[in-house]
């Protein structure tokens, strides 16, 4: 999609602090981190919701989380994986993305 922010990041028209890339996704640091480590794992294909992802995309994204956590030093201490889906969850960018948050004890979700 031409005017999607995350598509522009994936096409490298907008800079990002990339952590890892595979054929299916790009993982980069969140520009407004909500934790000491905050990475967005973003499929290269533009889809809006997790259920639109193909099984191989989901598997690749989930398999990558351990490596990303290792690279950023939170594998042993733990991290949270999170999809915001829709308005009530606070989804701001309509290009599905998996948040990886760590580096400090997480607060309760509610």
List, by residue number, the catalytic residues. Answer: 97
32 touches ligand AMP (CB under 6 A): yes
**Can residue 18 be called a binding residue for ligand AMP (CB under 6 A)?**
no
The site map against ligand AMP for 58-87 (x = CB under 6 A) is --------------------------x---
- Which residue's structure tokens are 């915001």? 84
Q: Does residue 93 interact with ligand AMP by CB under 6 A? A: yes
Find the angle CA(110)-CA(33)-CA(93) to the nearest 5 degrees. Answer: 80
- Residue 1, number of CB atoms within 10 A of its CB: 12
The SS3 of residue 1 is: coil
Binding region for ligand AMP (CB under 6 A): 5, 14, 16, 30-32, 40, 84, 90-93
């Amino acid at each position: 999609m031409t005017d999607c922010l995350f598509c522009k990041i994936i096409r490298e028209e907008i800079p990002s602090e990339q952590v890892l890339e595979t054929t299916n996704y790009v993982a980069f640091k969140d520009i407004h981190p909500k934790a000491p480590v905050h990475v967005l794992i973003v499929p290269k294909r533009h889809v809006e919701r997790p259920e639109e992802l193909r099984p191989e995309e989901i598997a690749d994204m989930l398999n990558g989380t351990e490596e990303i956590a290792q690279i950023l030093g939170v594998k042993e201490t733990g991290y949270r994986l999170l999809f915001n889906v829709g308005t009530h969850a606070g989804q701001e960018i309509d290009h599905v993305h998996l948040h990886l948050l760590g580096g400090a004890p997480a607060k309760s979700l509610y």
